[in-house]
């Protein structure tokens, strides 16, 4: 062992932030540029670093922590299930899977669930569903199915998904790319209309683009997608991995438009901040295309994930998190706009998914996020000039006001 390794192993438990960061730099692939904070404990909307400093979490693991850190009910469901049964694989049945599917379909007002683990797997599953539906139900010639996607999209990191991204860094050096996707300008009904052919099987979209900079499409756009999909017998697939489960002030972001997609992809918060849990939820007419052996996942639908997700959905309903997110988010945006910060070009979003775009003079958002970190508030830039503020939905009004003061102070 090198000297660094020896000292690290010897002091692993008592290591300070600098020691941890040095270790990550040496032993981890360099695919992230995290803020320089090393967290060791979390409770509700707050986290503590290894040096004992306290921070308000205003990122919530990109919406995976809608319920906050260590929610007592979710943690209890996790512990109790972990003591009984954690994994069977789908080769056998388990006593959590049926109730999970039943309760999730009831919550979503859908017929069926196909469980996965990560969001990207959920998206891949929706893509496979749409293609198989296209060939076996719609009658598209084999190998010709096309899926329409949007500019500025973020749907995950697999080779197929990055194939239809328009972010150069996301794609560069990862080809050859999966064909079968057509990209249109996000928010433009005309562009969507023009891209439809007889081989179009699905439109895959985010109701609000989170990674794309908290981009809210024009009023009526979601309704237009529904109408065009109906007119041309195309599946409407909403990626609600980040926007779903109360984040934007409704159950799903598409609920603002009172529209029902054919497939909804859920992830992130579905795992209660404890487990990776994702799912594609939809109608029997569409998810019914799968036969045994077509698709699967070793961990998908495992009893531990199902028990946690069941409790997460119950907490969401019992704590009125959608309504809470709607009210708190609207108030935050209103107050931040009223503050007329000189560095802010636009404040946007829905519910507690908030984007603060900097003026050209103010420069990138990252240095301001770093400044906020020193003030005890954690948030992250998305596309370079937007600061995303997305705290857990159970955050108290007082804590959110505290965050608002910090943001105003840093951006004034």
Ligand X SMILES: *Cc1c(COP(=O)(O)O)cnc(C)c1O
Which residues does the annotation mark as catalytic? Answer: 154, 239, 268
Query: Is 120 one of the binding residues for ligand X (CB under 6 A)?
Result: yes
Please state, in angstroms and rounded to a whole number, the distance separating the CA atoms of residues 125 and 286: 12
The end-to-end CA distance of the chain, in Å, is 50
Query: Is 241 one of the binding residues for ligand X (CB under 6 A)?
Result: yes
Please state, in angstroms and rounded to a whole number, the distance separating the CA atoms of residues 245 and 281: 13
CB nearer to ligand X: pick between 154 and 368:
154
CA dihedral 192, 193, 197, 200 (to 10 degrees): 40
Tokens representing 122 are 């959920």
Classified as helix, coil or strand, 392 is coil
Please state, in angstroms and rounded to a whole number, the distance separating the CA atoms of residues 51 and 354: 29
Nearest alpha-carbon partner for 237 in 267, 190, 280, 192: 280
With CB under 6 A as the contact rule, which of the stretches 118-126, 190-198, 313-321, 325-333 interacts with ligand X?
118-126
Closest approach of Cβ 241 to ligand X, in Å?
Answer: 4
Contact track, ligand X, 339-378, x by CB under 6 A: ----------------------------------------
Query: Is 206 one of the binding residues for ligand X (CB under 6 A)?
Result: yes
Q: Which residue is nearest to ligand X (CB)?
A: 119
With CB under 6 A as the contact rule, which of the stretches 100-108, 112-120, 318-326, 349-357 interacts with ligand X?
112-120
**Phi, psi angles (nearest 5°) of residue 350:** -140, 145
Closest approach of Cβ 165 to ligand X, in Å?
Answer: 11
Please state, in angstroms and rounded to a whole number, the distance separating the CA atoms of residues 190 and 46: 44
Closest approach of Cβ 87 to ligand X, in Å?
Answer: 19
How many amino acids of this chain bind ligand X (CB under 6 A)?
16
CB nearer to ligand X: pick between 239 and 311:
239
Closest approach of Cβ 129 to ligand X, in Å?
Answer: 16
CB nearer to ligand X: pick between 94 and 153:
153
With CB under 6 A as the contact rule, which of the stretches 115-123, 190-198, 319-327, 328-336 interacts with ligand X?
115-123
E strands along 93-214, which residues?
112-116, 146-150, 181-184, 200-205
Query: Is 62 one of the binding residues for ligand X (CB under 6 A)?
Result: yes
Contact 204, 265 (CB under 8 A): no
Closest approach of Cβ 67 to ligand X, in Å?
Answer: 16
Between vectors from CA 99 to CA 97 and to CA 105, what angle results, nearest 5°? Answer: 100
Please state, in angstroms and rounded to a whole number, the distance separating the CA atoms of residues 193 and 201: 14
Nearest alpha-carbon partner for 195 in 141, 153, 139, 234: 234
CB nearer to ligand X: pick between 155 and 251:
155
Closest approach of Cβ 307 to ligand X, in Å?
Answer: 19
Binders in 263-282 for ligand X, by CB under 6 A? 267-268
Query: Is 124 one of the binding residues for ligand X (CB under 6 A)?
Result: no
With CB under 6 A as the contact rule, which of the stretches 2-10, 113-121, 164-172, 291-299 interacts with ligand X?
113-121
Query: Is 242 one of the binding residues for ligand X (CB under 6 A)?
Result: yes
Please state, in angstroms and rounded to a whole number, the distance separating the CA atoms of residues 258 and 246: 15
Tokens representing 155 are 């749907």
By the criterion CB under 6 A, which residues form the site for ligand X? 62, 118-120, 123, 154-156, 206, 210-211, 239, 241-242, 267-268
């Amino acid at each position: 062992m090198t000297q660094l390794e020896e000292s690290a192993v010897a002091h692993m438990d008592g290591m300070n932030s600098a020691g941890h960061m040095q270790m990550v730099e040496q032993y981890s692939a360099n695919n992230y540029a995290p803020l320089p904070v090393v967290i060791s404990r979390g409770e509700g909307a707050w986290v503590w670093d290894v040096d004992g400093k306290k921070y308000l979490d205003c990122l919530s693991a990109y919406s995976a922590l809608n319920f906050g850190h260590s929610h007592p009910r979710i943690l209890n469901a996790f512990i109790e299930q972990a003591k009984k049964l954690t994994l069977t694989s789908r080769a056998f049945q388990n006593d959590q899977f049926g109730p999970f599917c039943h309760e999730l379909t009831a919550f979503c007002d859908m017929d069926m669930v196909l469980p996965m683990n990560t969001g990207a797997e959920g998206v891949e599953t929706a893509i496979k569903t749409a293609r198989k539906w296209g060939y076996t139900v719609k009658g598209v010639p084999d190998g010709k199915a096309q899926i329409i996607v949007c500019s500025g999209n973020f749907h995950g990191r697999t080779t197929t998904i990055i194939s239809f991204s328009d972010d150069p860094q996301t794609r560069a050096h990862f080809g050859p790319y999966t064909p079968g996707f057509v990209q249109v300008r996000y928010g433009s009904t005309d562009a969507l209309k023009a891209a439809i052919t007889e081989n179009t099987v699905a439109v895959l979209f985010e109701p609000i683009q989170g990674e794309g900079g908290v981009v809210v499409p024009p009023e009526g756009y979601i309704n237009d997608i529904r109408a065009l999909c109906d007119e041309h017998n195309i599946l409407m697939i909403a990626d609600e991995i980040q926007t779903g489960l109360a984040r934007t002030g409704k159950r799903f972001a598409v609920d603002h438009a009172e529209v029902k997609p054919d497939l909804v992809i859920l992830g992130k918060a579905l795992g209660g901040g404890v487990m990776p849990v994702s799912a594609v939820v939809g109608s029997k007419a569409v998810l019914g295309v799968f036969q045994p052996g077509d698709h699967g996942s070793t961990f998908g639908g495992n009893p531990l994930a199902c028990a946690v997700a069941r409790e997460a959905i119950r907490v969401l309903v019992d704590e009125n998190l959608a309504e809470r997110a709607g009210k708190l988010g609207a108030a935050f945006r209103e107050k931040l706009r009223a503050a007329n910060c000189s560095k802010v070009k636009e404040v946007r979003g829905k519910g507690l998914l908030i984007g603060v775009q900097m003026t050209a003079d103010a420069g990138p958002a990252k240095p301001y996020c770093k400044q906020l970190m020193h003030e005890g508030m954690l948030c992250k830039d998305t596309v370079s000039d937007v600061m995303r503020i997305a705290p857990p939905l159970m955050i108290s009004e007082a804590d959110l006001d505290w965050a608002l003061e910090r943001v105003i102070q840093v951006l004034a």
